Chain A
Amino acid sequence: MISANLAAIFYLVSGILFILALRGLSSPDTSRQGNYFGIAGMIIAIVVTFLSIGNFSTSLVYVIIFLIIGGVIGAFIAFKIPMTAMPELVAGFHSLVGLAAVFVAIAAFLNPTAFNLGNISDIKLASLIEMSIGAAVGAITFSGSIIAFLKLRGLMSGAPITFSGQHILNLILGIGIFVLIFYLCKTQSSNIFWTVILISFLVGVLLIIPIGGADMPVVISMLNSYSGWAAAGIGFTLENTALIITGALVGSSGAILSYIMCKAMNRSFVSVILGGFGADNSADDKKEKKDQKPVKSGNAEDAAFLMKNASSVIIVPGYGMAVAQAQHALREMVDKLKKKDIKVTYAIHPVAGRMPGHMNVLLAEANVPYDEVFELEDINNDFANSDVAFVIGANDVTNPVAKTDPKSPIFGMPVLDVEKCKSVLFVKRSLSPGYAGIDNELFYKDNTLMLFADAKKMTEDIVKNLD
Chain B
Amino acid sequence: MEIDPFIFRLSIFILSIFIGYYVVWSVTPSLHTPLMSVTNAISSVIIVGAIIAALAGTSESIFNTSSIFGFIAIILAAINIFGGFLVTQRMLQMYKKKKNKK
Which of A's residues lie within 8 Å of B, judged by CB?
11, 14-15, 18-19, 21-23, 25-28, 31-32, 34-35, 38-39, 41-42, 45-46, 49-50, 53, 55, 57-60, 62-63, 66-75, 77-79, 81, 83, 86, 89-90, 93-94, 96-97, 99-101, 103-104, 106-108, 110-111, 113-115, 126, 220-221, 224, 227-228, 231-232, 234-254, 256-257, 260, 348, 350, 355-358, 360-361, 364-365, 367, 369-373, 375
Contacts and interface: CB of A to CB of B under 8 A. Distances in A.
B77 to A, nearest CB: 5
A166 B22 CA distance: 36
A103 B72 contact: yes
Contact of B98 (A32, A79, A371): A371
Interface in B17-32: 17, 19-21, 23-32
Q: By DSSP majority rule, is chain A's interface helix, strand, loop, or mixed?
A: helix
Contacts of A108: 49, 53
Top 4 nearest A-B pairs (CB, nearest first) are A70-B78, A357-B32, A114-B56, A74-B82
A239 B46 CA distance: 12
B80 A100 contact: yes
A49 B97 contact: no
B12 interface: yes
B81 A103 contact: no
B35 A253 contact: yes
B55 A60 contact: yes
Contacts of B67: 59, 107, 111
Which of A110, A227, A371, A373 has the most CB atoms of chain B within a 10 A radius of its CB? A110
A249 B36 CA distance: 11
Contacts of B40: 90, 93-94, 97, 224, 227, 250
Interface string B42-84: 1111111111111111010010111101111111111111111
A90 B35 CA distance: 11
A375 B84 contact: no
Nearest to A227: B43
Given A25-B31, A45-B45, A111-B53, 7 more contacts: A25-B34, A38-B88, A97-B77, A227-B43, A231-B43, A253-B39, A356-B36
Contact of B93 (A15, A19, A32): A32
A367 B93 CA distance: 10
7 contacts: A53-B51, A57-B62, A79-B90, A97-B80, A247-B16, A360-B32, A364-B91
A78 B90 contact: yes
A69 to B, nearest CB: 6
A245 B62 CA distance: 31
Contacts of B47: 45-46, 49, 100
A231 B44 CA distance: 8
Given A252-B20, A364-B96, A244 B83 contact: no
Contact of B54 (A59, A69, A358): A59
Contact of B16 (A62, A100, A245): A245
Q: Is the interface of B mostly helix, strand, loop or mixed?
A: helix
A41 B47 CA distance: 13
Nearest to A249: B20
A364 B95 CA distance: 5
A133 to B, nearest CB: 13
A337 B32 CA distance: 29
A211 to B, nearest CB: 17
Contact of A77 (B34, B79, B95): B79
Nearest to B40: A93
Contacts of B28: 25-28
A238 B94 CA distance: 38
A41 B43 CA distance: 11
Given A49-B52, A253-B35, A231 B45 contact: yes
Contact of A126 (B6, B31, B52): B6
B44 A100 contact: yes
A68 B75 CA distance: 8
B12 A244 contact: yes
Contacts of A57: 55, 59, 62
A26 B27 contact: yes
A232 B9 CA distance: 10
Nearest to B88: A35
B86 to A, nearest CB: 4
Contacts of A364: 30, 91, 94-96
B85 A38 contact: yes
A68 B66 CA distance: 21
B45 to A, nearest CB: 5
A41 B42 contact: yes
A257 to B, nearest CB: 6
A330 B66 CA distance: 53
A100 B36 CA distance: 18
Given A107-B53, A365-B94, A100 B73 contact: yes
A357 B27 CA distance: 11
B42 A252 contact: no
A94 B41 CA distance: 9
A67 B91 contact: no
B55 A59 contact: yes
Given A39-B85, A74-B82, A111-B67, A357 B34 contact: yes
B88 A246 contact: no
